[in-house]
Chain A
Amino acid sequence: MAQDIGPEVVAYEIIDFAIPAPLTDVPGDVERGWTIVQNAANATCLICHAMPMPWQPDHGNLAPDLAGVGSRYNAAELRLRLVDPKALNPDTIMPAYYQAQGLNRVQEKYVGQTVYSAQDIEDVIAFLLTLTEE
């Protein structure tokens, strides 16, 4: 089906295992990021990661705890991790949250779509940077 129904995917450049330039001009919104990552209907990080969110049930335990991730990585590194984790580890199970092409047999309603929008990515990065305590 059509490849053109999804949002425009913003071009980005990977430099030294990071994506230094933000995907949008609007600075990331921490509150929005906080909401996005908890959305159980949209590939929440909690499927795989524990997060410092004690009110959330059943955190996954197959990926590193995201507590302290804001002091371990900077925005550029987190951006690559979200946009294209396979650039860091080709075998990873972590989904690319900002990839619409080069995928195999995508369910029709998701064709041409990314999991997160460019602004979602920036908002999630802003939120992750607040997770500074181990």
Chain B
Amino acid sequence: MNRSLWIFVAAFGGFAAYAFLAAGIAHAQAPDLSRFSVEDRKSGYVFLGEQVRALQDDDFQNPGMFAVDRGQRIWNTVDGEAGKSCATCHGDAAESMAGVSARYPQFDADRGAIINLELRINEQRMTHMMAPPLEYESEDLLALTTYIAGLSRGMPLEVNIEGDAAPFFEKGKDFFFERRGQLDLACNQCHDDLDGMMLRGDKMSQGQINGFPFYRLIWNSVGSTHRMFEWCNTSMRAEPFAYGSEEYLNLELYVAWRGRGLLVETPAVRR
């Protein structure tokens, strides 16, 4: 099966076995979900079956923790011509990086555009370590991003959309409401209007990004926000944008703001 077809089948197709399991354990005891929503904004966690929640809740079972461990090793590894590691300058990430990811993406004066955590990490490698950038969505960049974002776990998303960021935010917002693809759908039609409904085997969430990078069971791997945007774009049979593209960066800013106040869950686990 070719890849996009698989994406579509995965989006809307099978996973009967999973649904069966999920149905079996529904109506156990209602867990306390108050930490997972703010006003009408709800984390994807709220829409998960209990088994997937249990995976996320337990660091020893959470498959995203492998990326965290790997990221921690990379943080401490010297690379590049300057002979430095991230730790050389930033020391213990648990202190220096706590809360940082909750403020990303943000406007970056040097770029004159929006930067997200992945691109910030690569910029640091290039300018401070004289090391080449890591490929977007490579295991190493995902690991380092997951490690750093994980150090903001439990802190509220709080991106700045004012000032220089404002025009980029507006573009991201427009993107969210624009219909695309052969199926002619916009993000809001699924994620604003249908949350909680069943789209075939998927319980529709609000499409929040407070858990990214997250571990997605149907991918069997960790993935970035931009990979998720690509997946949703191709589900509507729209030509996706490139990872790290201006379009996805602006969209990421809008989506992060849309989830303002939600607590960072990285590494979240999702179906």
A residues sitting closer than 8 Å to B (CB atoms) are 40-41, 43-44, 46-48, 57-62, 93, 95-96, 99, 103-110, 113, 115
Nearest 8 pairs between A and B by C-beta?
A: A57-B16, A58-B201, A40-B13, A62-B197, A95-B183, A110-B182, A47-B12, A61-B198
The number of chain B residues touching the other chain, given as a range, is: 20 to 34
Q: Which of A41, A93, A103 contacts B9 (CB 8 A)?
A: A41
Q: Which of A44, A47, A57, A110 contacts B237 (CB 8 A)?
A: A110
In the complex, what residues of B have CB within 8 A of residue A106's CB? 181-182, 237-239
In the complex, what residues of B have CB within 8 A of residue A62's CB? 194, 197-199, 204
Q: Are B178 and A104 in contact (CB under 8 A)?
A: yes
Q: Which of A44, A60, A95, A99 contacts B185 (CB 8 A)?
A: A95
In the complex, what residues of B have CB within 8 A of residue A110's CB? 181-182, 237
Q: Which residue of B lies closest to A40 (CB)?
A: B13
A-B contact pairs, 18 of them (CB 8 A): A40-B9, A40-B13, A41-B5, A44-B12, A44-B200, A47-B199, A57-B14, A57-B16, A57-B19, A60-B197, A62-B197, A93-B189, A103-B182, A104-B180, A105-B181, A107-B237, A110-B182, A115-B183
Given A41-B5, A113-B182, A115-B183; 6 other pairs, CB 8 A cutoff = A57-B16, A62-B194, A95-B182, A107-B181, A107-B238, A110-B181
> Please, how many angstroms separate the alpha-carbon atoms of A47 and B194 in the complex?
13
In the complex, what residues of A have CB within 8 A of residue B5's CB? 41
In the complex, what residues of A have CB within 8 A of residue B16's CB? 57-58
B residues sitting closer than 8 Å to A (CB atoms) are 4-5, 8-9, 12-16, 19-20, 178-185, 189-190, 193-194, 197-201, 204, 234, 237-240
> Please, how many angstroms separate the alpha-carbon atoms of A120 and B78 in the complex?
60
Q: Are B182 and A58 in contact (CB under 8 A)?
A: no
Output the residue of B12, B20, B179, B189 with the most chain A CB within 10 A. Answer: B12
Interface SS majority for chain A: loop
Q: Which of B20, B180, B185, B240 contacts A93 (CB 8 A)?
A: B185
Q: Are A60 and B200 in contact (CB under 8 A)?
A: yes
In the complex, what residues of B have CB within 8 A of residue A99's CB? 184
In the complex, what residues of B have CB within 8 A of residue A61's CB? 197-198
Q: Are B183 and A105 in contact (CB under 8 A)?
A: no
In the complex, what residues of B have CB within 8 A of residue A109's CB? 4
> Please, how many angstroms separate the alpha-carbon atoms of A99 and B201 in the complex?
26
The smallest beta-carbon distance between B1 and chain A, in angstroms, is 8
Q: Which of B14, B181, B234 contacts A104 (CB 8 A)?
A: B181
Q: Are B239 and A40 in contact (CB under 8 A)?
A: no
The smallest beta-carbon distance between A86 and chain B, in angstroms, is 8
Q: In the complex where A57-B16, A104-B178, A107-B239 touch, is A43 in contact with B183 (Cβ < 8 A)?
A: yes
In the complex, what residues of A have CB within 8 A of residue B185's CB? 93, 95
In the complex, what residues of A have CB within 8 A of residue B183's CB? 43, 95, 115
